Structure 1
Amino acid sequence: MLGAAVPPRALLDAVRRLGPGAVMLWSQSPHTTDPELVRQVVRTAWGARGSRNRALVLVTGPGWRRSDHPEGIAGPLTLLSALDLLEQAVTG
């Protein structure tokens, strides 16, 4: 888990090094969303795990609107649905 205000390069480096099964990006308000960063995280996460085993990428929090993130990226509206998606990613 990384905290608030992590520089994008540090986030991408961590994703590349760790190859996580899931990456969840939180945005508290619309001015902190970054759709381009989401696309970079997807490219990095999917490249780190290979095309056959893609990491789940989620955008969550009240700042995100469905139009703010690339199509095909999970955008759960509740904590319970986010946890369900994360559990599915871990258990396969």
Structure 2
Amino acid sequence: MKPTVRIEYCPKCGWLLRAAYMAQELLTTFSEDLYAVTLQPSEVSGRYTIYIDDLPLFDRKRDGRFPEIKELKQLVRNQVNPEKPLGHSDSK
């Protein structure tokens, strides 16, 4: 089964639009590689964590920042389809 990306975000912090943007980018780039991208309002203030299935891929508190979309696409690609070219989002 294809993996699911879950973006857990803090609604009190106003991060829904950021999460929705990242979901859109991932769904566009990985339309054939992902089962779904879901948005989950967090019950914990300040949380912004991105998972592939149940594996934490990026955590705002752990990493000290939000991911850049290019970086996030690379992290997802490395987990779901390592051979997939990302065009301008590929690291040089």
Assess same fold via TM > 0.5: no
Instruction: Report the TM-score, using the length of structure 2 for normalisation.
Output: 0.33
Query: Which has the larger share of strand?
Result: 2
